[in-house]
Structure formats: structure tokens, C-alpha cells
Amino acid sequence: MTEFAVTAIRYQMDEHLSFEEKGARAVAFVASLKIGQQVVLVFEPDNPGSPNKAIAVYIDYKRIGYIADEECHIVLPLLNEGRAKATIVRKDDHVTFFVSIPGMSDIHKISPSNKRVLPESPLGSSFRMPFTKDENALQLIASELVEIETNKENLPEIMLLTKRYVPLSKISICREDRLWRSMILKKLEHLLGKSQVLGMSDVDKSEMETLCLTLRGVVGDMHRSSEHWPERVFVNHLELLRNDESVNSHLYKKYCETFLNDKPFDEVDKDIIKAEYERLSSWLRSLEWSELRNPKNLMSMGFRVNYLDLSRWELYDLYSILLLLEKLEFPAQTEQTVTEDGPNYFAPAKNLRELLKQPWFMELRTKNDYNGKWTDAFVAALMASEWKDSIATDWAIQGKRTKVNQIKGHIVGLLADNGVLKGTYDSIAAQVGVTKNPRTFSRYMGEGKSQPYAEWVKDYITGKNE
């Protein structure tokens, strides 16, 4: 049996502790571990300390150390899509323990294929953007849920994993997540069919039925073209990465070091910028799917990506190209100022202002301060926020008035949720008069709290993001 050392444990302790306190905490932590306890290994390609070879070790979805640097080259080929389970086999008397990697053939069954769909990225195979924290958690939780045996003893763990998995199940459209959604849904449905044999309590059964129903809805949404869920997931995911600090510190910095002679975008010769823009654009243009060739039409791109069965790494290769093209197209701008001069933002800004200045708003507002001036400021701030592109993209879907009404409903619902408007969803919807069916608009209002900009609206109203 081959053992691999897990080190750097003290550095995962509370950052506010002194070096000595971290050491003491790490010793106590290692002493608490049990032989046979399971851990998960996760590749971190953009780890600044050990780029392209760092392998983190997780317990209960928390990083607790790293595989020793000198052993990473042995472990890395054993990882499937950047992860693998391992088992603690030995501890020393200080701050190191050792793991082995059993059952690799079983782990490889999770992914149907490791073959790339897209051609190799023009950035190179070693140029990787780090996954988001939610996606790292999603991978760990989903793989655990797929592989755990369904029996009475494991019911509490299955319930806990399911509660953690379902809220994360709709954040990505890559191959692994599509497969996991299907496998986990079947597993949960099978579990419910055996609930009596397994001795599930009525409370647990009811909660599992609700979770299963939610996951079934997610699976259905990803196949329901009329609602454009896969496209919206793709666009929102890119928006999150665009505003993620890890992108700035890893992707952009590494790109400048590798391809721009270690200069920031706004200091590079224009000819080099143009050449790089053309090089990355030509990669997109070379793709056989027309929807992927136009970086300006992200909704169409998301539609095609959903059917291509891309791996998570391939999807991130595509995201990297799109984000870099944006930077290269506007190298002199560190932050773009959004105005209503462009067609993308004018329509939603104009229509939302008009909607919130109608008599019904004045009648339902909870304070006189929520007046026309407040409406102008709110809409202007929303359309200059980090969510401006996703709102404008959804608004611009042609031929479907439903999409515009959905966004209006989401905004009105969020204003009601946060105390700007008084009344129930149904009573408000009846007065707004946006659609012929107020119950439909009421449903849109209820969906507002699940929108990515819901927290932003709440913070704006409470004054936290002013």
C-alpha cells in the first residue's frame, strides 16, 4: 500500500492565531483523526505557492492540508477530473498524517468520459482558472452522495449530504454536474421507495420528498428550453467569475506574466493587445459550433454549451477565453462605467423606472421617501451594479414578452420582500397590471428572492451598499 504525506496542516488553522498557537491547534487536530477516516483530494491548478501541482486535502468540505509537494507528481495522475477519495492510514506524533487512495476504478465510474469536446485551449493545458468555492463544495458533496451506500446506518449522512447538495445543484451546466444530478435523483427516488424498509421517520421522509421534488425540478429546468435556465446559469456563472477576486489574482495576473511580458493590460503596446485578441478570437472562430464563435451572444453560447457535454475544466477554459477577450478589448479601462447610451442597458432602465413611477407604486409604498427620486437612484444603481449584464441579457431575449415580465416581477417582489411595498404578492400583482394574469405575475414576484441580485437589492434598501 502506497502512502502519501499530508502536510501544511498548521497553516489551515485560524489565521488570527500566532505561529505557536497554530502548531498546537494542528497537533490536537491530527491527534483527533481516526485511522480509516475518509478524506477528499482536490487539485488546485492555480495555487500561488505550487502552481499546477498543489493537491489539497479536505475533511467535511473543509481544507485541512496538502499532499507533500514531492509526492504530487505521483498523486496527480490518479485524480479523476481533479479529485479523488483517500483514507487515513497512519499518523505521526506531530502535525503530519498519511493517506492512501483505494478503489480508483470505482471513482472513475463517476465520469462517463475524460475525452475533450473542445480543442485544446490557446492558453495551454497548464493554464487553469481556479474553480469557485461553491463548485469545489459541489464536487465533494456530489461524489460523496453518489458513492455512499443506501442503508439504515447511513440515512443521517445521506440526509445531510442531500440538504447540502440540492441548493448547489443548479450552479453549473458541465458534464459532471449533469450526470450527478441524474444519478443522485435516481438514488433519492430509490431511497424513498425503500423508506419503510429503511425505517425512515415521517419527518425525514417528508423532508426528503421535498428535497427530491426540488431536485427533480432542477433536472427538468435544465431540459426546458422555454425558460432558458441553462443559458441563464452559463451567463450568471460568467458574471460571478468576472467579479471574483480569484480571477483577478490568478487568471489575469498569470496571463499578463505569460503572454504580455509581465505588464498590466493598460501598459501593453496596442499591437500586442490586438495580436492577442486576434489569437484568442481565432480559437473561438475555429470551433465547429456557430453559437460558440460569437462572444457577444452569451445566451446562444450557453444554449449550445448545455448540449455539448463539456467537462468542468473545458467549461473553465471557455470562461477564461471570454474573460480575457473582454480585458483585451478594453485594456485601458480598469472599470467600465455603465450608462444608458448602449441598447443593452437603456431598455431595462427606462422600463423599470416607468413601472415604479406609476400610481400603483405610490399607493403601495410604505414610506414617502420611496418617491420618483428614489426610483431613479435605485434603477440607476441596479443597472450599474455587478448584475447589470445578466439583467440586460435576460431582458434582450427577443420574441418573448414573458422574459421582460419575469424581470419586472422579480424586482417588484424584492421590493415587497424588503419593505418598500405593502401587501401580499397577489394583491400587489392585481394592481400592477403588467400582465392579463395577475397570478402569473405574483409567481414571478415570489421567484425574486432566488435571483442572483436579490442580496444586492436587500443591501441597497437597507443602505449597506450605498
Q: CB–CB of 139/83 below 8 Å?
A: yes
Which pLDDT tens digit goes with each residue over 227-236? 678 888 888 8
Model pLDDT, residue 167 = 93
Model pLDDT, residue 464 = 65
Model pLDDT, residue 90 = 86
Model pLDDT, residue 220 = 78
Q: Can you give the pLDDT of all 466 residues of the chain as single tens digits?
A: 577 889 889 888 887 888 888 889 999 999 999 999 999 999 988 776 666 678 999 998 899 999 987 678 788 888 877 788 899 998 876 788 889 887 544 333 344 445 788 999 999 877 778 888 888 889 889 988 988 998 999 999 999 999 999 999 988 888 888 888 888 988 898 898 888 888 899 999 999 999 999 998 888 777 665 567 888 888 888 888 887 777 767 888 889 999 999 998 888 888 899 899 999 999 999 998 888 888 877 888 888 888 887 888 899 999 999 999 988 875 533 333 334 444 456 678 888 888 898 888 988 999 988 988 899 889 888 888 888 877 877 776 544 456 788 889 999 999 999 999 998 888 898 888 776 678 888 888 988 888 888 999 998 998 865 5
The rounded distance, in Å, linking the Cα atoms of 374 and 353 is 10
> SS3 for 67?
strand
Model pLDDT, residue 319 = 94
Determine if residue 338 is left, alpha or beta; phi over 0 gives left, psi from -120 to 50 gives alpha, anything else beta. beta
> First and final CA of the chain: distance in angstroms?
58
pTM higher than 0.75, yes or no? no
Model pLDDT, residue 39 = 93
Model pLDDT, residue 243 = 79
The rounded distance, in Å, linking the Cα atoms of 141 and 159 is 12
Using the structure block, give the residue that is written with the C-alpha cell 454536474. Answer: 177
Model pLDDT, residue 32 = 93
Listed in sequence order, the residues at least 6 apart from 146 whose beta carbon sits closer than 8 Å to its beta carbon are: 110, 180, 183, 184, 187
Which pLDDT tens digit goes with each residue over 186-208? 889 889 888 888 889 999 999 99
Q: CB–CB of 357/372 below 8 Å?
A: yes
